[in-house]
């Protein structure tokens, strides 16, 4: 069997929520020997600290792994961006946030 590079995986803690339909995300895969890489993936489950993603490696193999929640973002969001929907509405300003 050929050697396959290993990645850093998370351990889910707490109740697991399963997605009714997989959610398109971008996952940061942290290789144990090398630089991290971002890959398109599907989120299929999550806890407060980890996300279970289905992704394809550069060699064409399909995987389902638990990753740290900080290494997964919805497709289309900028890296490090906090979605507007988690901020509370402002009372000042011209227009409401929500």
pTM: 0.74
Domain ranges of the chain: 17-70
- Per mean pLDDT, which range of 3-12, 14-23, 38-47 is the poorest? 3-12
Confidence bin at 59 (pLDDT 50/70/90):
confident
d(CA 39, CA 29): 7
Which is higher by pLDDT, 68 or 93? Answer: 68
Question: Which tokens in the block code for residue 15?
Answer: 């109740």
Do 36 and 28 form a contact (C-beta atoms < 8 A)? yes
Please report the pLDDT score of residue 97 as a whole number.
Answer: 47
């Amino acid at each position: 069997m050929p050697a396959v590079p290993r990645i850093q995986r998370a351990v889910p803690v707490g109740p697991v929520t399963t997605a009714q339909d997989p959610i398109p995300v971008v996952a940061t895969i942290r290789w144990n020997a090398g630089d991290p890489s971002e890959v398109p993936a599907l989120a299929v489950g999550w806890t407060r600290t980890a996300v279970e993603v289905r992704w394809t490696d550069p060699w064409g193999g399909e995987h389902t792994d638990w990753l740290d929640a900080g290494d997964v973002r919805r497709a289309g969001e900028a890296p490090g961006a906090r979605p507007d929907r988690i901020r509370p509405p402002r009372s000042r300003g011209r227009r409401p946030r929500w």
